[in-house]
Amino acid sequence: MYIIAVASLKGGVGKTTHSTNLSVHLSMKGKRVLAVDLDLNNNLTDFFLRSLDRNYLEERNVLSVILGEKEIEDCVHKTGFSGLEVLPATISLGAKTKNLETDFLLSTLGSSLKRLDYDYIVLDTPGHLSVELQFAVTISDLILSPVCPKRWVFQGMKDLKDVEEGFEKESLRIVAVPSMVGKGKQEEERLFNLKKKYPVTRTSIGKLRAIEKASEEGKALKVGSKGYLWFESLADEILQIQKRSVTSKQRMFV
């Protein structure tokens, strides 16, 4: 199992768009994927499960697992995508977790996730420092951080790096994903400077109305479209990053 947190301490960078489309494309490659909504805005939940009864969701969601009210297997829901399931969130998540400690989430939600049988778990996180974000950083093998070519979003990358460094986990990696990228010279210069400071994916996700529209409608991107190909490329990179990580760990024990 390989756990990926999609995280940023700045809003409006497309975290949920990355989480949903990455999950879809990993499942399209034959991987068993669980997408976990850790954001009380529950946009990932709305994307995949908008037709599900709200009252039903209130009884079977990620908070139910955290508080020990339900087994995780009873809170995971199938989607319209083969091999892809969702552990949803509702708006009550933030109010009930604000006084909890990261260690508590690790002992409840963390241990529950670890016993599941998936190839990938993708965590969609809040855009602010919270126990959910700290939990995601702690449990993940990889943090993907969507970064727009704007100065204040770059600062958010630095802040997230500071959060990451607060946890002692040698195998953890944080990688920036250039997102909502335009064609301006200033944007190119800022991305060039970003690459000097942080690991950055080869894949850039451009600014495209078709991506926004698909997210709003809860639909997959059209096969062969620009957006589809961008996220397909990002999923391929994730497979490569995981493969290198496994190879590196194997060498440590040779």
State the pLDDT at residue 223.
Answer: 96
State the pLDDT at residue 147.
Answer: 87
Tokens, residue 99: 């006084």
Q: Can you tell me the distance from the alpha carbon of 105 to that of 99, in angstroms, rounded to the nearest whole number?
A: 11
Q: How confident is the model at residue 250 (pLDDT cuts 50, 70, 90)?
A: very low
State the pLDDT at residue 152.
Answer: 47
Q: Can you tell me the distance from the alpha carbon of 132 to that of 231, in angstroms, rounded to the nearest whole number?
A: 25
Which of 69-73, 76-80, 100-104 is predicted least confidently? 100-104
CA angle in degrees (0–180, nearest 5) for 233-146-116:
75
State the pLDDT at residue 234.
Answer: 97
**Cβ-proximal residues to 75 (8 Å cutoff; 6+ apart), any chain:** 60, 61, 62, 64, 65, 87, 88
State the pLDDT at residue 252.
Answer: 40
Average pLDDT over residues 50-79: 93
Average pLDDT over residues 107-120: 95
Grouping H, G, I as helix, E, B as strand and the rest as coil, residue 146 is strand
Bigger pLDDT: 52 vs 157: 52
Is the model's pLDDT at 253 over the cut of 70? Answer: no
Is the model's pLDDT at 239 over the cut of 90? Answer: yes
Output the average pLDDT for the chain.
86
CA quadruple 12, 13, 15, 20: dihedral, nearest 10? 100
Tokens, residue 135: 């939990």
What is the count of structural domains for the chain? 1
Percent of the chain exceeding pLDDT 70 equals: 86
Q: How confident is the model at residue 235 (pLDDT cuts 50, 70, 90)?
A: very high
**The domain containing residue 142 runs over which residues?**
2-252
State the pLDDT at residue 11.
Answer: 74
Bigger pLDDT: 9 vs 67: 67
Tokens, residue 164: 């990451």
Q: How confident is the model at residue 202 (pLDDT cuts 50, 70, 90)?
A: very high
Percent of the chain exceeding pLDDT 90 equals: 59
CATH number of the domain to which 54 belongs: 3.40.50.300
Tokens, residue 88: 């949803």
